[in-house]
Structure 1
């Protein structure tokens, strides 16, 4: 069961800490079903901003519109390529790593975009320098604002109207 609420109070007993949360009334039936003698695995995380989730949805809607405008149609593959190019254009943070060319597959599991920047040959091995870009899920608010500006700017450059998206995506 997942609950959303706020920490209200906590106090110490001889053996434990008693924690109190304030949650919405909609959870009362679920809470009544919990056996108070059972040991629970409790995980507490900051609630992700609804604004961030909405921005993500809007960015993907705009990427979809850009892709459709440029290609006449759209598919997940071309949208993903556009997304990767926009991340590269934003140049928010690039990690440069050197290794064997086969390393690219492993790096692609960690980074959204991995490209070969340079090939190097030594007497011991042939290596490459990779330019590695993080995906938007790893961006902080400032980085996300930069990415949004890049996406909006690109949409305007290709003649796509962005007024609606500017209102929805601009961080307030």
Structure 2
């Protein structure tokens, strides 16, 4: 179970054992915790949460990609936008996993992994590179991806002043 929250207090019981109090981000998480047995021993992993990319960042990213697609291909299309997107996430070093699948399974993998790249087709097997998509990025990773596309737009002669102004509002 993964939860988000803030540490609010550290105290000790009468036997000197530490107790912690967490303020959870979502009320529904309390229901998940209630399903645990009171004296059940748990493995607990605490780490700082990274801020997830925002909807505004996502909208800006796709606006830039659409303008780049229009400049390169004349008429933007879903296919060419996705190709540009995959190129971008690959260039900024997004996490990926290379998998070998049967050729007949490609349609299933396309549905499961929105960001992928066919590396090699050999007989009835395909080597795919499946990327973690930007929906899983934190704000810094998304910022790096937006920077990549702003640079690409600039190189293509696309006016980027509006992007830079909008981008400044995101942080």
Gaps of 5+ in 2: 1-26, 30-50
**Where in structure 1 are there 5+ consecutive unaligned residues?**
1-41
3-state SS in 2 of match to 1:142: helix
TM-score normalised according to structure 1 size: 0.58
Change (3 A) 1:130 1:72: closer
Which residue in the other structure is 2:114 paired with? 112
Match of 1:88 among 87, 90, 100: 90
In structure 2, the partner of 1:37 is none
What's the counterpart of residue 167 of structure 2?
169
CA contact (8 A) 2:115 2:130 kept: yes
Change in 2 beyond 3 A, CA 1:128/1:108: same
Query: 1:96-129: CA deviations, max 9, x gaps?
Result: 11221223222222222222323567xxxx5332
Are the aligned partners of 1:104 and 1:114 in contact in 2 as well (CA < 8 Å)? no
Higher Rg of the two aligned structures: 1
* CA deviation after TM superposition for structure 1 residue 133, in Å: 1.5
Alignment of 1:23-172 (within 5 A): 43=28, 52-119=54-121, 126-170=124-168, 172=171
Quick one: structure 1 residues 164 and 154, their matched pair in 2 at CA, closer, same or farther if it must change by over 3 Å?
A: same
Larger RCO (alpha carbons 8 Å, 6+ apart)? 2
TM-score normalised over the length of structure 2: 0.59
Secondary structure of 1:91's aligned partner: coil
Q: What is the distance in 1 between the residues matched to 2:74 and 2:118?
A: 30
Q: How many residues align?
A: 131
Secondary structure of 1:109 counterpart = helix
C-alpha separation in 1, matches of 2:97 and 2:115:
11
